[in-house]
Chain A
């Protein structure tokens, strides 16, 4: 197989070009969001949030068919219901926020699976859950472009607020920052990106495109800005390699991208010169001492 066959030929197909572009666009924005998820310890919450989108998407499909914007708003409503619902539950009852979130998202997810299995269409549950690059249409691509550009622009404009809110929310508030607004905006962006990534990555795997590059970058970087940039770079790189692997190996695109990013994570965990596991083992301690 020539280099041309390996790297370029796959993209003579329209659907491959679309899939690649969609993954690259969302890698750019997801790589940014992932950093905040990792640093604010919201990784598991993000995972739960992504599962909870399913019923919204299913209901939208039921009512409006394949309209991208309908799917988008369906997912958005379901995601926000889960986020706000669990916040409300934890305020009104003794149930803590993590348990409230865990309970709500699993009910939502179950509802979504039930709805989709009863839908009178040919759509495949597996495509919803794990992504299908064949399904990326022109409107999906436009959505991905808009969401990605919006996310990157907001990160550029509000970089300092995001850094303060992530590192030291109390200080952010003390100096007149709108912490609640930044947090809500961040959750909304996460849901938007998850919905936009649904076609290529699938609901269950979409978060991998955000989280894995960020946590890998976390192991290499000592500055927030370099972590953001490396994370975006890894997400884009992983998307390109993942899409190619999925073409040649006949794998689901979402799974293939997640596995490529997983490989990058494994390398980072093992070989990061300052924070890697091998260094920890060599020094005979799990972490560098505080002093």
Chain B
């Protein structure tokens, strides 16, 4: 994957089975977001391909749901919890079509599943961090897909919010939903996800989380990152 002359991510190949939760790990600039973009089909690949089932990402769009980073959201926007969750139905509506009974049922179901039905009429700033995160998870659910791409879902959550989210994501996996999330915190990755993809502008390791997060792999992924930025000062090479 290239941005102009800069190669952001190369030599990467891995598979994620349906119904598993995978943490995409790596230092800043390792290519976590780039990988998510590739799976979403936003980024033309310089070489290689992404397949979702048998389909190109563009054609698998109804199966994919994307949850943005918390800091990318304008929490002062004049919109209620229900208003955000209803957006999940917009892509499947025609230009002059209004939300139907089936759409409303899906929205109600998503609000219910994430335990935010009582908050439906609230403006989104007047929620706790964990509740705010659940609003966007509910929007993803309302889309009706089965593959969820989350960009740093744990960033900015307090301990309680993190535990809440871990609980939800584990339940989703148990229900057969597929989750792919960019994650910063290795501890969270171990407790919350069954699989991992460790990146350092190329693939370091992929597979069951315990096999991926070995001391040797972590060392390679994170120290190598330092080497790129401060290698000259440190004057040491890594294999």
Q: What chain B residues lie within 8 Å of A166 (beta carbons)?
A: 77
Does the CB pair A170–B72 fall under 8 Å? yes
Q: Given the complex of chains A and B, what is the CA–CA distance between A153 and B125 in angstroms? A: 31
Interface size on A, residues (CB 8 A): 26
Query: Which residues of A sit under 8 angstroms from B83, Cβ to Cβ?
Result: 223-224
Give the one of B80, B125, B127, B129 with max A CB within 10 A.
B125
Is A121 positioned at the interface, with any CB of B under 8 Å from its CB? Answer: no
CA distance A218 to B79 in the complex (A): 11
Which residues of B, 176-195, contact A by the 8 Å Cβ criterion?
A: none
The chain B residue sitting closest to A173, CB to CB, is B42
With both beta carbons as reference points, the residue of chain B lying nearest to A223 in the complex is identified as B78
Q: Chain B, 113-154, contact with A by CB distance < 8 Å: what is the 0/1 string?
A: 000000000010111110000000001000100000000000
Interface residues of A (CB under 8 A from B): 39, 157-158, 160, 163-164, 166-168, 170-171, 173-177, 218, 221-224, 226-227, 288, 290-291
Which B residues touch A39, using CB under 8 A?
74, 77-78
Contact indicator A174/B125 (Cβ below 8 Å):
no
Produce 1/0 per residue, B58-87, CB < 8 A to A: 000100101010001111011110011001
Task: Name the contact of B126 in the complex, choosing from A160, A224, A288 (C-beta under 8 A).
Answer: A288
- Within the assembled complex, what's the spacing in Å between the Cα atoms of A226 and B121? 14
The interface residues of chain B lying within 8 Å CB-to-CB of A177 are 91
> Which B positions have Cβ atoms within 8 angstroms of A?
40, 42, 61, 64, 66, 68, 72-75, 77-80, 83-84, 87, 90-91, 93, 95-96, 123, 125-129, 139, 143
CB distance from A125 to the nearest CB of B (A): 39
**Known interface pairs A223-B79, A224-B77; 7 further A-B residue pairs with C-beta atoms within 8 A, sorted by A's residue number:** A158-B95, A166-B77, A167-B84, A174-B64, A222-B78, A288-B125, A290-B75
Nearest CB to that of A174 among chain B residues? Answer: B66
Interface centre among B83, B90, B95 (most CB of A within 10 A): B90
Residue of B nearest to A167 (CB): B77
CB-nearest residue of chain B relative to A221? B78
For A274, the closest partner residue in chain B by CB is B123
Q: Is the CB of A290 within 8 A of B143?
A: no
Report the nearest A residue to B151, measured CB to CB: A170
Across-interface contacts of B95 in A (CB, < 8 A): 157-158
- Report B127 CB to chain A, min CB distance, Å: 7
* Chain A min CB distance to B105 (Å): 19
With a cutoff of 8 Å between Cβ atoms, the chain B residues found around residue A171 in the complex are 66, 68, 87, 139
Residue of chain A at shortest CB distance from B156:
A290
Within the complex, what minimum Cβ distance (angstroms) separates A246 from chain B? Answer: 31
In the complex, the answer to whether A175 meets B61 with C-beta atoms within 8 Å is yes
Are A291 and B68 also in contact (CB < 8 A) when A175-B90, A222-B78 are? no
